[in-house]
A and B are shown apart, each in its own frame.
Chain A
Amino acid sequence: MTDLRPQLRLLVRAVVFAALFASVAEVVLRTALPARESPYPRQEPLERLMTFDPIDNARGTFTAGRYAQLRVPYSVNAQGWNAGEDYLPAASRPEPLVAVLGDSQVEGFYVAWSDHIAQRLERASGGACVGYAFGGSGYRLAQYPAVTRYMARTGMAPEVVVLLLDVGDVSGSLRTFGIKPGVQYIAEQTPDGAGFVEVPPTPYQTTPTRRLLRQSAIARYLLFNAKLDLFGQDAPAEPALGAPSVPPESQPENTATLDAYVEWSVAAMRAALPEARFVLLLDADRRAIYRGDTPVPVLPTTPFFERACARHPDVLACVDLAPVFDARYRADGQRFDFDFNPHWSAHGHAVAAEAVFDALRARGWLTGPRGAE
Chain B
Amino acid sequence: MHFNSFVFAVFLPTVFALYWALHRSLRAQNIVILLASYLFYAWWDWRFLGLFIGSAMADFFVGVYLARPDRPPRARLVALVTGLTLNLTALGVFKYFNFFVGSLQDALGLVGLPLDLGTLDLILPLGISFYTFQSMSYSLDVYRGLLKPTRDPVAYMAYVAFFPQLVAGPIERAETLLPAFLAPRTFDAAKARDGLRQILWGLTKKVVIADNLAGPVELAYNGDPGALSGLGHAIATSLFFVQVYCDFSGYSDIAIGSARLFGFSLTRNFAFPFFSTSLTEFWRRWHVTLNTWLRDYVFLVLEMRTRRKHMARRAKRPPEAQGPRTPPRWRTALNIFIVFLLSGLWHGAAWTYVLMGAVTGVYLSIELFLGTPVARQIVAFDRALPTLREALAILRVNVLTMLSLVLFRAETVTQAGLIYAQMLTSPLAGSSVAPLLGACLLALAPIVLEWFQRRRQHGLEIDHWPTWARWSAYLALCLVILVHGNTRSREFVYFQF
Contacts and interface: CB of A to CB of B under 8 A. Distances in A.
Interface string A20-34: 110011001000010
Given A1-B24, A234-B1, A234-B490, A17 B187 contact: no
A234 B475 contact: no
Contacts of A13: 193
Interface string B332-350: 0000000000000000000
A234 B43 contact: yes
A21 B482 CA distance: 11
B189 A4 contact: no
A212 interface: no
B17 interface: yes
A226 B487 contact: yes
A252 interface: no
A235 B23 contact: no
A123 to B, nearest CB: 37
B186 to A, nearest CB: 8
B24 A237 contact: no
A238 B124 CA distance: 10
A73 B99 CA distance: 57
Interface in B201-227: none
Contacts of B16: 7, 11
A66 interface: yes
Contact of B17 (A11, A25, A227): A11
Contacts of A9: 189
Given A2-B186, A17-B471, A226-B485, 17 more contacts: A1-B24, A2-B23, A2-B24, A6-B187, A6-B192, A7-B16, A9-B189, A11-B17, A14-B13, A17-B474, A24-B479, A28-B479, A221-B482, A228-B6, A228-B487, A234-B2, A234-B43
B14 to A, nearest CB: 11
Interface of A: 1-2, 4, 6-7, 9-11, 13-14, 17, 20-21, 24-25, 28, 33, 66-67, 218, 221-222, 226-232, 234-235, 237-238
- Which of A4, A7, A11, A222 has the most chain B CB atoms inside 10 A of its CB? A7
A228 B16 CA distance: 25
Contacts of A231: 6-7
Contacts of B297: none
Nearest to A226: B487
A234 B7 CA distance: 10
B22 to A, nearest CB: 11
Contact of A21 (B6, B13, B23, B478): B478
Contacts of B1: 234
29 contacts: A2-B23, A4-B20, A4-B21, A4-B23, A6-B189, A7-B16, A7-B20, A11-B17, A13-B193, A17-B471, A17-B474, A20-B471, A21-B478, A24-B479, A25-B478, A25-B482, A28-B479, A28-B483, A66-B484, A67-B483, A222-B482, A226-B482, A228-B487, A230-B6, A231-B6, A231-B7, A234-B5, A237-B44, A238-B123
A20 B20 contact: no
A353 to B, nearest CB: 32
A230 B6 CA distance: 6
Interface string B472-494: 00110011001111010011000
A27 to B, nearest CB: 11
B187 A235 contact: no
Interface string B176-191: 0000000000110100
B474 to A, nearest CB: 7
B45 interface: yes
Nearest to B45: A237
Contacts of B485: 226
Interface in B1-49: 1-2, 5-7, 13, 16-17, 20-21, 23-24, 43-45
B13 A11 contact: yes
Given A17-B474, A234-B44, A10 B189 contact: yes
A54 to B, nearest CB: 33
Q: Which 8 A-B pairs have the closest CB atoms?
A: A6-B189, A237-B45, A228-B487, A7-B20, A230-B6, A2-B23, A21-B478, A226-B487
